Structure 1
Amino acid sequence: MPLGRAGAIYDLIVTVGFATPWTAAVVLELQRAAHAALGLPGSPTPVFGPLELMFTAMMGTAVTMWALARILHPVASLIAIDTGGRVAFSAWMVTALVGGASPVIVMFLAFEVLWGVLQGIGVFRALR
């Protein structure tokens, strides 16, 4: 499933920066800087302490490993599970935006929706 592998490569590129507390702190600072530079409404990403960075890094590590699994084994069942995850991630991003989070999230949301649709089409074709 080429679209599944491509979505996994995208995920790896986007999430590997969140896979350690040190790199996550840098990525989050870049998000705060983008929010400020663009003069966006809503609340910027807060400065995270050690606990928040630990949870961020745990999620970044899990998504990075999940991306590697799908790159190595882009089978329909794994891509279907990931497509469901993209729907959930998109819902959480919309929830954050409605709650006043920085519109910087919209960039991530757009790609989640795009990859969800593309992978969904690929899974549908594979299962037919």
Structure 2
Amino acid sequence: MQLNNYLRIVRASAWYDLIVTIGFVTPWSFALVHQSLSQLNSSLGIAGEFPAFAAAHVLMANLLGSIVTIWAILRLRDTRIEYGHYDAVGRILFSMWQLYAVAHGASQIILVFTVFEIAFGIAQLLPVRTPAITD
């Protein structure tokens, strides 16, 4: 894959992360995201659940939202091959834990996000052709 195309994928994955996780940054925005996902899950009759969250659960969601939002902004401001590779590894881990959660009763809505995690992970693991440096 050409370098410019690869960096576009890294930026696209950063935009995706920013859009999907910014709502997890504060307890108030997370409450809205959680309520919306719970309602969607119920209205579609999808298997699995989005249980009520205690304060410690909300803290973990906020930590996730905060670090992923910062990571997304870094990749948008300073897009690098190395960041794409690190991001791919993170996406493999996220995918594994999402699949684990669904297998243990979490809502199957999570699988929509898993598809994006796997797709961006694979795309960011593809070999990149960097331009030759000439003197």
Q: Give your verdict on TM over 0.5.
A: yes
**Greater Cα radius of gyration, structure 1 or 2:** 2
Residues 1:117 and 2:122 aligned together: yes
How many Å apart are 1:114 and its aligned residue? 1.3
What residue number does 1:94 align with?
Answer: 99
1:54 to 34, 50, 59: 59
Measure, in 1, the Cα distance between the counterparts of 2:98 and 2:59.
20
Please state which structure has a larger fraction of its residues in helix.
Answer: 1
Measure, in 2, the Cα distance between the counterparts of 1:39 and 1:56.
24
Measure, in 2, the Cα distance between the counterparts of 1:68 and 1:27.
21
Deviations 1:62-92 (A, max 9, x none): 0000000011111011110000000000000
Count the aligned residue pairs. Answer: 125
Measure, in 2, the Cα distance between the counterparts of 1:126 and 1:99.
41
Unaligned residue ranges in structure 2 (runs of 5+): 1-6
Residue identity opposite 1:125 in structure 2: V
1:21 to 22, 27, 34: 27
Contact kept, 8 Å, 1:7 with 1:119, in 2: the verdict is no
Measure, in 2, the Cα distance between the counterparts of 1:11 and 1:99.
24
TM-score by length of 2: 0.87
TM-score by length of 1: 0.92
Residue identity opposite 2:85 in structure 1: A
Residue identity opposite 1:71 in structure 2: L
How many Å apart are 1:49 and its aligned residue? 2.2
Identity of aligned residues (%): 34
Moved over 2 A (4+): none
Contact kept, 8 Å, 1:25 with 1:48, in 2: the verdict is no
Residues 1:10 and 2:16 aligned together: yes
Deviations 1:25-56 (A, max 9, x none): 110111111110011122x1111122211121
Root-mean-square deviation over aligned CA pairs: 1.4
What residue number does 2:82 align with?
Answer: 77
**Larger CA deviation: 13-22 vs 44-53:** 44-53
Measure, in 2, the Cα distance between the counterparts of 1:126 and 1:48.
46
Unaligned residue ranges in structure 1 (runs of 5+): none
